[in-house]
Homo-oligomer: A and B are copies of this chain.
Amino acid sequence: MQNFDYQTPTRLIFGKGIIEKLPEVMNQFGKKILLTYGGGSIKKIGLYDKVKELLADFEIFELSGIQPNPKYDPSVLDGVKICKENNIDVILAVGGGSVLDCSKAIATGAKYDGDPWDLISYKAFAEDSIPIVDIITLAATGSEYDCGGVISRTETNDKIGYMDSHNYPMVSFLDPTYTFTVSKKQTAAGCADAMNHIMEQYFCEDSTLLNDGFMEAGLKSLMANAVKCLENPQDYTARAEMMLTCTYGCNGIYSLGNSQSGWPCHGIEHALSAYYDITHGEGLAIITPRWMKHILSEKTVNRFVKYGVNVFGIDSTLDKFEIANKAISETYKFFESIGIPMHLKEVGIDESRIVEMAHHIAVNEGLENAWVPLNENDLVKILTDSL
Chain A interfacial positions (CB closer than 8 Å to B):
1-18, 176, 208-214, 216-218, 220-221, 224-225, 236-237, 240-241, 244-245, 253, 256-257
Contacts and interface: CB of A to CB of B under 8 A. Distances in A.
Nearest to A245: B210
Contacts of A218: 210, 213
Contacts of A15: 1-4, 257
B14 A4 contact: yes
Given A213-B213, A224-B209, A12 B4 contact: yes
24 contacts: A1-B15, A1-B237, A1-B244, A2-B15, A3-B15, A3-B18, A4-B13, A4-B14, A5-B18, A6-B11, A6-B12, A6-B14, A7-B11, A8-B8, A12-B256, A14-B256, A208-B244, A209-B220, A210-B244, A211-B217, A213-B216, A214-B214, A214-B217, A253-B253
Contact of A7 (B12, B18, B256): B12
A237 B176 CA distance: 38
In the A-B complex, the 9 residue pairs with the closest CB atoms = A213-B217, A3-B15, A7-B11, A210-B221, A1-B240, A209-B221, A6-B12, A9-B9, A208-B241
Given A1-B15, A244-B257, 9 more contacts: A1-B237, A1-B240, A3-B14, A3-B15, A6-B11, A208-B221, A210-B221, A213-B214, A217-B217
Nearest to A175: B3
Q: How many copies does the complex hold?
A: 2
Contacts of A209: 217, 220-221, 224-225, 241
Given A4-B15, A7-B10, A14-B5, A212 B208 contact: no
Q: Which of A7, A17, A236, A256 has the most CB of B within 10 A?
A: A7
A1 B244 CA distance: 10
Contacts of A216: 213, 217
Nearest to A11: B7
B1 A5 contact: no
Contacts of A211: 217
A213 B221 CA distance: 9
A135 to B, nearest CB: 15
A216 B217 CA distance: 9
A7 to B, nearest CB: 4
